[in-house]
Structure 1
């Protein structure tokens, strides 16, 4: 099964704010796919393909994390890889505790190596094709300093990702509550 560890966005009001920004940035571009409401999340670590035994070991290890609930500030709009070749549009997050949680997740899944440095981001859209690249760049720059407010993180998830032709479906395998 294909897996990752995440913080899922479940606040309906915040999801609406995120979607409003995503729709404005997309404008009338047909080649930009917005992330479904139920798929909005911060990936703490992508684990990839694991078997049942590895899943149980990961659940056991992640259960040892005992951090307090914390607040993250959703702030700033950015892109991967860069403004000249936009493939992912994301909203950033500011929180030292978020970085600490990502570090703890990494330590507790040490057998699964990740070459990527943790960059806290919430993917709001994936770009396939754009008719007006300059217009898209301008809209992204316009929202680059956006502040969507705070979100209380009181749990994180081990998720399974099923890739389907109509888009990914994410299903929680285990919820880990913060203290």
Structure 2
């Protein structure tokens, strides 16, 4: 099964996403359904079902304290040729991602070389749109959706369908303090 580890955004933040997406919605890009927007800590890819219980056990050992995070800023990767439009996320997500990486290292998952906390809003299918998207994004780049407490993360299963992905929570991991 195709899996990833993520922090879900609270419902009040997800409710704001459609208005942000409208600022740059156009043909040539695929918007992420607002209820699916999340912060990926680690993409695992295809995982044999027989290993999922072991992965859950390892993730259960990740120790972290609840922390405040802020969803602020709209930007794009990689730069002049935009492929992804995102919401920025600040807070100690990198520490949590590193702890998840360490917990999963025995399973042979490669360590992420560079982690950037963000929530994907859209994937750009037509790089020729980069200039106009850059202009639209600059108009909303300082968007601030506020703070929330990160006190859990989730192992998710992703099923790809022609209508978009379907996510299913496999296990939830809560902060230790």
TM-score, normalisation: structure 1: 0.89
Q: CA deviation at 1:130?
A: 7.1
Partner of 2:98: 103
Q: CA deviation at 1:47?
A: 0.8
Deviations 1:48-106 (A, max 9, x none): 11112321111001001121211111111111121x2111100111112x221111100
Partner Cα separation in structure 2 for residue 117 and residue 54 of structure 1: 26
* Structure 1 stretches lacking a partner, 5+ long: none
Q: CA deviation at 1:175?
A: 0.8
Partner Cα separation in structure 1 for residue 129 and residue 110 of structure 2: 38
1:55 equivalent to 2:52? Answer yes
1:151 aligned to which of 141, 148, 151: 148
Aligned length: 174
Deviations 1:11-69 (A, max 9, x none): 2221122221111122xx12222111221111100111111232111100100112121
Q: Is the 8 A contact 2:73 2:144 kept in 1?
A: yes
* Larger strand share, 1 or 2: 1
* Structure 2 stretches lacking a partner, 5+ long: none
Counterparts of 1:28-47 in structure 2, within 5 Å, are 29-47=26-44
Deviations 1:99-122 (A, max 9, x none): 211111000001211444111110
Counterparts of 1:2-151 in structure 2, within 5 Å, are 2-9=2-9, 11-26=10-25, 29-82=26-79, 84-96=80-92, 98-110=93-105, 111-129=108-126, 133-151=130-148
2:174 aligned to which of 169, 174, 177: 177
Following TM superposition, where does structure 1 have runs of at least 4 consecutive aligned residues deviating by more than 4 angstroms? Answer: 130-133
Report the RMSD for the aligned CA atoms in angstroms.
1.7
Partner Cα separation in structure 1 for residue 109 and residue 127 of structure 2: 36
